[in-house]
Amino acid sequence: MTAPLVHPETPHVAVACACALGEGPVWDHRTGTVLWVDIKAPAVWRHRPESGDTSRLDVAEAIGFVALTPDPEVVIAGFRSGLARLDLRTGATDALAAPEPDKPGNRINDGHVGPGGHVYFGTMDAREASRSGCFWRWDGSNLKAFGPECVVANGPALSADGRTLYTVDSVDRCVFAHDLEDHDPRPPRLFVRFDEGWGHPDGLACDAEEHVWVCHWGGSRITRFRPDGTIERVLPVPTAQVTKCAFGGDDLSTLYITTAARGHDPHIDPMAGHLFRVEAGVRGVPANIATSAP
């Protein structure tokens, strides 16, 4: 059996932010800025590589992701209580939709915007114990659940051609693929099941060549999978809890990687929680704009 290719470059720290639970990087090509969140020390971070400017906006509750809107200073935020518009200048919020008001123990986790402007996101048990989470699609006015219930719903991400949505059941170590019909995800099919020694699948991103980059929570790496689910390459990351990646930079060939410091001794794992970057050698696709902002 041939060993998978190891990526030729090592990720280095882009921002030494030491996030308790960094997640959800997204590149705003309009401003040349990467945004990401800290779920457990709730905040939205922004970094502009060209100038080196970095800012942090503290928010009042756990935040799983942010999505771009037509206004670069306003995002759709996946808060514990539901989706809301968030003004990055003032911190003001405007509630939009609450997917699970009958499940106060749940929170929104990761999210992604499809080419039609629809927002796909997952929910999970905040204690990571109950199989009470699932996936949702929001078209700007209506919510619709899809996929099986799970403890920790991760992903989602869409293929470059917009025809396949990938979702993750982190606890069961499964990555699923859903065909899309009129932006509606069809029943899941297994794409990849992680081996025991790989850690758990977390966030993911798709590149312009239809390959899928899956982050390994507890595995210190990202794996690039071919469209048929076989391994194309492994990208080692110098910290254990790798949460999500996104393509950015002028030509979308820089991979930004969020990580988590939660539960890690900074003397043993000093780079835990930082934002990393590495040249991917392939390009991603631009982040889509949510249609849900006025």
The answer to whether the CB of 188 falls within 8 A of the CB of 203 is: no
Q: Give the start-end residues of each E strand in 182-253.
A: 184-185, 189-193, 200-206, 212-217, 221-225, 231-236, 242-248
User: DSSP secondary structure string, 122-189?
Assistant: EEEETTS-SS-EEEEEE-SS-EEEEEEEESBEEEEEE-TTSSEEEEEETTTTEEEEEEEETTEEPPPE
Instruction: Tell me the CA end-to-end span of the chain in Å, nearest whole number.
Output: 54
Active site residues: 202
The answer to whether the CB of 280 falls within 8 A of the CB of 38 is: no
The answer to whether the CB of 252 falls within 8 A of the CB of 286 is: yes
Angle at 92 between CA 249 and CA 127, to 5 degrees: 80
